[in-house]
Structure formats: C-alpha cells, structure tokens
Homo-oligomer: A and B are copies of this chain.
Amino acid sequence: MSEREIPGELAALRASIDNLDAALVYLLAERFRCTQQVGHLKAELGLAPSDPAREEEQLQRLRQLARESGLDPAFAEKVLAFIIAEVIRNHGIIAEAVSS
C-alpha cells in the first residue's frame, strides 16, 4: 500500500503518535536540562556521577508508574536504563571538564 492509500484511521493514529512524540522530545529535553544541572552540582561538590541508591529508587518508582499507566514495566525499565546510562555518561564528561 503506497503513502497515498493510507486508511483514515491509520492516518489519525499516526497524527496522535506524532503529537505524543513531540511532547516526549520536549519532556526529554527538559529532563536533560535538569540532569545537566545535577551534573554540574555533583562535579562542584565532588559527588560521584552515578548514585546506585537513587537509581534503584527511580527504577522501583518507575515500575509502579508503569503498572498504573498500563505500560509494560519491563519496557519502561529498559527505556529508563537507557536514559540513565546517557545521563551518567554526561555527568562523567562534566566532572572531567570541571576537574581539568
């Protein structure tokens, strides 16, 4: 089926998905603004980029939120783990820049 033959129902769902993706991108951008500030604060205070106790709390809370919202908790966990890994990587870069 070519682009021009997309059924109306599919096109409507795709428009909703596109809107949700825009919201997701802007929320992720705001989340990274916050974690950038956390990175600078941790570097200033000499705290480690990673905080396993905090990350465990976040995962527990996320599983609960996923259950409440109807999202697959295993998927939610994989997405958060992916985001946190990127954040920790950035914190490491900030710490290195501050200490050098």
Contact = CB atoms under 8 A, between A and B. Distances in A.
Interface string A16-44: 11101111111111111111011001100
A76 B28 contact: yes
A45 to B, nearest CB: 7
**How many of these chains are in the complex?**
2
A13 interface: yes
A29 B62 contact: no
Contact of A20 (B1, B31, B78, B86): B31
B10 A41 contact: yes
Given A41-B9, A70-B33, A82-B79, A27 B27 contact: yes
- The 6 tightest CB contacts between A and B, nearest first, are A29-B69, A29-B71, A25-B65, A20-B31, A26-B69, A17-B34
